[in-house]
Structure 1
Amino acid sequence: MNRPDHARIADVMKRDWDERARQDARWFINSLRVRQSDDEFDGTGRIEVERLVLADLDLLTCRRDPRTLSLLEIGCGAGRMTRHLAGIFGHVAGVDVSGEMIRQAGERLAGVENVRLIETSGVDFKQFPNESFDLIISAYVFQHVPSVEVIDSNLRDAWRILKPGGMLRFQTNAISRLEFERIEKDTWTGAAYTEAAIRRFARERSAQLISIFGADTQYCWTTIKKRQFALAGDEEERRPSIVFFGHTYDAERKDVPLTGDQASLTLILTGLDHDRDDCESVTVRIGGERILPRYVGPIGGNFRSTLENYFGRDLSQFTQVEIGIPDDVSAGFHPVSVEAGNRFVSPAIEVMFSDAGAEIPRISSVSNAFDGGMDILSSGPKSRIQLLIEAARKESLNREISIEIGSQVVTPDSRRLLPEKDLLEIAAQLPAGLFGRVQMRVRIGEAWSAPVEFLIGRPAE
């Protein structure tokens, strides 16, 4: 795609988001309900900042004082998250393709002295010099960009203005299935920027790919670190060693389910380099299967408290590696080892993989059944939802299926198996009167999926 095409798409993005901002900026940013109060709108932003930033603050700041750091928020909208970010970081810049969003954000954040708001082109950040920011985040923005090339253009320029040692955390729609590819893209249902594209972006820049969570879903979250130095090869011998392992969601559990939401293994190693090793340089082997991890980094989650009981409070020598379990791993004990830099392999440990979770369904994506978009409304044609379910076998077509939405249960009015992807597609009408953030789970036979949260908006008036 050439630059004139970029400019044309950017013009459409500006036009559409300016119009949405004039209609009801808060609803289009967070479809809780129309005409949200300041407290409601800011409250949803506070929750997002707590989940996306504060929960990983040590990782994102490299344990530095955030009050000494500068942060860029790509797609700040009307400042839903910006106000809360300004209370954490020393300097915050919020940018948006929509001038009307920036105007409204300016009114809402008047008097917040450490915030700067700027309308940008939608394809780059030319207003900023190289290496301007310690941390760059983007939440629920690129999923609305209709072109992979324009997403890539934004990420490339974000990389330019990120300081060495800085972190880039962003969210994309990473659905790679053909059904989604066939949907016409616009400034609401944008293009997919997949795991393959993310890994390629990191590789081309010799970046440290810390994590990719939610690959092949609507909400894929990526964290990448800009290295402070160029990699010099494997001249120093590294000897990784697995010192602890467990089920990702229960550190003391030593058997790992093969499928479903629980099919995840976490390994704790010595001999890896926090500044060097990442989701590209590290490979996990289960028997003869080689698996790229979805997280490589400092100890976190429930493993921190468990490991402190074993090794004390200083865990700086350890690295946490997390993988999902591939479909072709069979039940039973398998040797597991870790390869670093395509050269150094840890001694293998034996891990028990169980088929107890083989029937557990997993909700892969939620969309409206009208046009396959992500906007789900409380009434009208977009109030019929479509779900793609993983870990569903052929027998699922003949089993009882129900969908629990909030406190109500509905029965799908259609179901079909997509054998090429091992997915079950089901659709159902939303119960009347639901809107806002709602939890949903699916039951197939006797097995329930883990709950997922999605937004139900009201039709624009």
Structure 2
Amino acid sequence: MNQDPTGEYIRTITSHCDLRGAEVLEVGCGAGRITRDLARHAARVVAVDPDERALAQARAAVTAANVSFLPMPDGVLSFPPASFDIVIYTLSFHHVPLHQMDESLATAAGLVRPGGAVVVVEPGEGGSFTEAKERFGAGSGDERPAQEAAIRAMHALPGWTVGDTVHFRVGFLFTDEDDFISSKLPGFAEQPAAYQQEVRAFLASHRTPEGIVLDAGRRLNVLRRR
């Protein structure tokens, strides 16, 4: 799978938040797909994630000297106050347990230096990849309730203003149907035949000469102190 082959994430982030010379904390870096692009613009990136296996993949994929990957046990951001210019959640805030969202965001805000920002990139609406998640449970499945809770938490952060929501789309390129199934539907072989046929028919409708091309809506919000 090739996620975001056209670089829409970093294009949107840099259009609404200046990373030049910035020290950035990336929360929920996963395998480092967006970390790599952040490092090309920022002075320093500290990328954290609770998943040790994802961090191992990220360290192998991103070897830039200005990037540090650190484990984040239990989702706790343990850095001194005002350590960063920008804290960015990259598709991770809705994964924070609902009862910890307010605390997580308040802690992140406390890590930001004066004049800095908290950037939240989250799944949006629409797109064929989003449809596959909702219809077939692909990837992390239907995350709409968690996404709605994340939006409420952003607007409830005391002393901070949430900027206009920026909507954009990102692409996903899969070599073929089996590439999608192996990476996004690990239990596919145990599913009923009707389900398997429906999935393959859906993927066939998105086949191109380059492979299976899907897309998904995304949203970006920049939070700044009032």
Match of 1:123 in 2: 75
Cα gap change, 1:67/1:101 in structure 2, threshold over 3 Å: closer, same or farther?
A: same
- Which of the numbers 402, 420, 438 marks the counterpart of 2:214? 438
Q: Secondary structure at the match of 2:65?
A: coil
C-alpha contact (below 8 Å) 1:144/1:188 kept by paired residues = no
Q: Give the C-alpha shift of residue 94 in structure 1.
A: 0.7
Q: Tell me the equivalent position of 2:93.
A: 142
Tell me what 1:198 maps to. 154
Q: Residues 397-416 of structure 1: matches in 2 within 5 Å?
A: none
Cα offset for 1:47?
Answer: 3.2
SS in 2 for 1:151: helix
Question: If you compute each CA radius of gyration, which structure gives the higher value, 1 or 2?
Answer: 1
Q: 2 CA distance for matches of 1:382 and 1:73?
A: 37
Distance in 2, matches of 1:382 and 1:45, equals: 30
- From 5, 14, 35, the equivalent of 1:54 is 14
Question: Structure 1: which amino acid aligns with 2:214?
Answer: V
**1:68 alignment partner, SS class:** coil
1:37-186 matches, cutoff 5 A: 40=2, 44=5, 46-51=7-12, 53-56=13-16, 60-61=17-18, 66-110=19-63, 112-126=64-78, 128-145=79-96, 147-172=97-122
Q: Is the contact between residue 71 and residue 136 of structure 1 (CA under 8 Å) also seen in structure 2?
A: yes
TM-score by length of 2: 0.63
Change (3 A) 1:195 1:384: farther
Is there any run of 5+ residues in structure 1 with no aligned partner, and where?
A: 1-32, 34-39, 176-186, 220-374, 386-428, 440-452, 455-461
Aligned-residue offset at 1:54: 2.3
Cα 1:437/1:125, change in 2 over 3 Å: farther
User: Is contact 1:45–1:84 with CA below 8 Å preserved after alignment?
Assistant: no
The separation in 1 between residues aligned to 2:6 and 2:37, in whole angstroms, is 7
Distance 2:101 2:213 in 1: 27
**What are the Cα deviations for residues 325-374 of structure 1, in whole angstroms up to 9, with x where unaligned?**
xxxxxxxxxxxxxxxxxxxxxxxxxxxxxxxxxxxxxxxxxxxxxxxxxx
Residue 143 of structure 1 deviates from its aligned partner by: 3.2
* 1:200 CA displacement: 1.6
Runs (5+) with no aligned partner, structure 2: 126-139, 169-182, 218-226
Q: Which amino acid aligns with 2:77?
A: F
What is the CA distance between 1:376 and its match in structure 2? 7.9
Contact 1:124/1:158 (<8 A) preserved: no
- Give identity over the alignment, percent: 22
Secondary structure of the corresponding residue to residue 30 of structure 2: coil
Counterpart CA distance in 2 for 1:72 and 1:129 is: 12
> For the Cα contact (< 8 Å) 2:77–2:108, is it kept in 1?
yes
Aligned length: 175
- Write the letter of the residue equivalent to 2:10: V
CA contact (8 A) 2:94 2:150 kept: no
CA spacing shift, 1:132–1:45, aligned 2, 3 Å: farther
What is the identity, as a one-letter code, of the residue corresponding to 2:7?
R
* Gap change, CA 1:44 and 1:74, over 3 Å in 2: farther
Q: Deviation at 1:84?
A: 1.5
The answer (yes or no) to whether the contact 1:77–1:101 under 8 Å persists in 2 is: yes
Deviation for aligned residue 1:73 = 1.2
> Aligned runs of 1:304-343 on 2, under 5 Å?
none
Instruction: Return closer, same or farther for 1:383/1:432 CA change in 2, 3 Å cut-off.
Output: same
1:193 partner SS: helix
Distance 1:107 1:129, change over 3 A: same
The residue type equivalent to 2:52 in the other structure is G
Q: Offset at 1:114?
A: 0.6
